[in-house]
Amino acid sequence: MRRQPVIWASLKAFRSLCRALPHSAALSVGASLGRAVGRLSRKRFQKTRARCARVLGVDSADAGRVVSGAYDHFGRCLAEFLRLPLMADRLTDIVDLDGAEFLREALGLGRGVIFLSAHIGNWEYGAALMARMGFPMNAIGAGQRDPRITDAIADTRRSVGVNHVSKGLGLKAALSCLRRGEVLCVLMDQDARDSGVVSPFLGVPASTPVGPIKLAGKFGAPVLPARIIRRPDGGRFSMTIYPPLEGRDGEPFGADIQHAADRCNEVISSWIRETPEQWMWMYPRWASTTGDR
């Protein structure tokens, strides 16, 4: 890891601006920033548009609209995350929640729960909402190039009651939270490279993480899909928690790793097809299987 002084200074300045503005104004600024990044990163935008067109089977114009929407959406997400400590008490007012009973039932088994999610909608709001409602939440997070940014993400999560578990170095912490009967949030739409299993993701072979699946099999922890999607008005969300995923032919979920990986990807892929402009197309999901970087 190395320090990135320009990025860090820019992030701090943007955080100060977002926290000084009213919420709707901060989101508008975030959306404008996202769109500006898309325009200024022309080569990356074109590569992302081509990836979207190829995977979704749409023409370049439609893919361009999806990718432009994604830049807008994630600009808003950045502003929302930076404002999260200010918004924690308002989350129940701006998020419509369905399916909380499935989480309560799963936690009642005492084996911990794995929340299956992805880089779609605003997953940070989802975890924060659950924590504010009293559920014991732990979220795995990847380290950033600048450790100060990693620390800032962890501090923001902790400020709203979500425990930050470091990816790669946090296996012990992940095991501990399941042993305590808590919730472990995982984003499964990432390239696992050599450590994953190949499974269709939006119909294209992708290396898929198996760590959460193995944990589910080891502890008998229910795996509950959960997503939180931005509504058309831009400032409100709909969050849905689904019933636990089931294994093949009555087996516990995770006993058959390939089947479990396929099922996780099937669920996430269906979400993306419903709201493609809210998924992170900029991320090279298929890099290790197709060379698409």
| Arithmetic mean of pLDDT, 98-125 | 97
Q: How far apart are CA 154 and CA 114, in angstroms?
A: 19
What tokens were used for 1? 């890891």
Q: What is the pLDDT of residues 253-285, one digit of tens each?
A: 999 999 999 999 999 999 999 999 999 999 999
Q: Are strands 223-230 and 237-241 parallel, antiparallel or unpaired?
A: antiparallel
Q: How far apart are CA 121 and CA 131, in angstroms?
A: 18
Amino acid (1-letter code) at residue 168: G
| Arithmetic mean of pLDDT, 12-22 | 97
Evaluate if residue 64 carries a pLDDT over 80.
yes
**Average model confidence (pLDDT) across the chain:** 94
- Residue 264, CA distances (Å) to 6, 78, 98, 145, 273 in order: 38, 26, 20, 28, 15
In this predicted structure, what is the pLDDT of residue 1?
A: 53
In this predicted structure, what is the pLDDT of residue 33?
A: 97
**DSSP assignment string, 77-138:** HHHHHHTHHHHGGGHHHHEEEE-HHHHHHHHTTSS-EEEEE-SBS-HHHHHHHHHHTT--EE
Q: What is the pLDDT of residues 222-260, one digit of tens each?
A: 999 999 999 998 789 999 999 999 999 889 999 999 999
Q: How far apart are CA 114 and CA 68, in angstroms?
A: 32
134: left (phi over 0), alpha (psi -120 to 50) or beta: left
In this predicted structure, what is the pLDDT of residue 91?
A: 96
Q: How far apart are CA 245 and CA 258, in angstroms?
A: 14
Q: How far apart are CA 214 and CA 181, in angstroms?
A: 16
Nearest alpha carbon to residue 236 among 96, 119, 137, 129: 96
In this predicted structure, what is the pLDDT of residue 169?
A: 45
Domain ranges for the chain, please list them: 5-290
pTM for this model (two decimals):
0.94
Q: What is the pLDDT of residues 141-196, one digit of tens each?
A: 877 888 899 999 999 999 999 999 876 545 777 889 999 999 999 999 999 999 99
